[in-house]
Amino acid sequence: MDLDELLKVRDHYDAEVRRGAQGPYVERAGRVVRVSTPGWSGVLWSDLDEETADAEIAAQVAYFGARGPERGGPGFEWKLYAHDRPADLGERLRAAGFVPEPPETLMVGRTADMARLPVEPPEGISLLRVTDEAGAELMMKAHDRAFGVARPRLKEDVLAQLSEDPDSIEVVVAMAGDVPVSSARMEFRPGSAFAGLWGGGTDPAWRGRGIYRLLVAHRARIAAERGIPYLQVDAMDDSRPILERLGFGVLGVTVPYIRQG
């Protein structure tokens, strides 16, 4: 995608996925769009300037601070994108007690292009679609091996989504025999032009064999069957080069700002 197309896609993403987010946990309040769930809570989008930013930040801190953990509080994330305004919004968030996590690169690829990637599994690898608790447990084992960080809520959240809205999520685990070595998720939004790719990670001992690419291509084929034109990824530094080689374009940088309590 050339720069003009990337900018158009970014505007489309902002309008649909952020400003136009839909769902039972989405709320438009003042100048922000926010989400409040037990699994994840935060600000997806904001329309701020130098005059309104500090007051809106304070309003969201008060809102989430008044909620218990079962209602999406008190900690929450402000998902800041490099093109958000005002230009010093990150500094204002830090001044309000937010802590930035490592930046991620917002990337988008055409589903049709990714669906044409080779999908022959590397030798010794098979793919398992996760539909139940046993599969979710394998997903967690692969996730822990890949990232080295425990996420105890992930299994619970995935199982809840599979139970309550199975059409909104696809989860796959790459197996080396009976050992889970990689896993990935894809989430769908009703009527959206974007399918979100999440959680793609591979056990360090199995990297460099094409498993990550296999999981991208596998999910792209599913998205193509649903007629979804774009795949979206918030890529970490180790994933970005792989995705660029596959043909994903960069829409910008996003930084999760976290406030506890």
Asked whether residue 143 is assigned to any structural domain, the reply reads yes
Same domain, 118 and 235: yes
CATH code, domain with 123: 3.40.630.30
Contacting residues for 73 by C-beta, under 8 A, at least 6 apart: 36, 41, 63, 64, 65, 66, 67
Q: Which two tokens stand for residue 246?
A: 């596959």
Q: Model pTM? A: 0.89
Q: Which residue range(s) make up the domain with 119?
A: 108-252
Residue 63 domain flag: yes
Q: Is residue 224 part of a domain?
A: yes
In a domain? residue 260 = no
pLDDT at 100: 97
What's the confidence (pLDDT) of residue 71?
Answer: 57
Does residue 101 sit in the same domain as residue 114? no
Q: Is residue 150 part of a domain?
A: yes
Length of the chain: 261
> Are residues 228 and 212 both part of a single domain?
yes
* pLDDT for the residue 69: 62
Asked if residue 261 belongs to a domain, the reply is no
174 shares its domain with 191: yes
**Residues 96 and 116 occupy one common structural domain:** no
The number of distinct structural domains making up the chain is 2
Pairing of strands 41-46, 76-81: parallel
Whether 194 and 232 have beta carbons less than 8 Å apart is answered as yes
Q: What is the pLDDT of residue 68?
A: 65
Task: Please name which of 139, 136, 125, 143 lies closest in space to residue 211, comparing C-alpha atoms.
Answer: 125
Which pLDDT score, from 0 to 100, does residue 151 have? 80
Below-50 pLDDT ranges, the chain? none
pLDDT digits (tens, 9 = 90+) for 182-216: 999 999 988 899 999 999 999 999 999 999 999 99
- Do residues 76 and 194 both lie within one domain? no
- Per-residue pLDDT, 24: 82
pLDDT at 98: 97
In angstroms, the CA 158 to CA 184 distance is 11
Domain membership of residue 257 (yes or no) is no
Q: What is the pLDDT of residue 153?
A: 82
User: What pLDDT does 70 receive?
Assistant: 57
Does 87 share its domain with 7? yes
Which string of DSSP letters, residue by residue, matches 227-248? T--EEEEEE-TTTHHHHHHHT-
Last residue within a domain, chosen from 105, 140, 162 = 105
- Percent of the chain residues topping a pLDDT of 90: 81
Q: Is residue 50 part of a domain?
A: yes
> For position 256, what pLDDT does the model report?
96
What's CA 202's distance to the chain center, in Å? 17
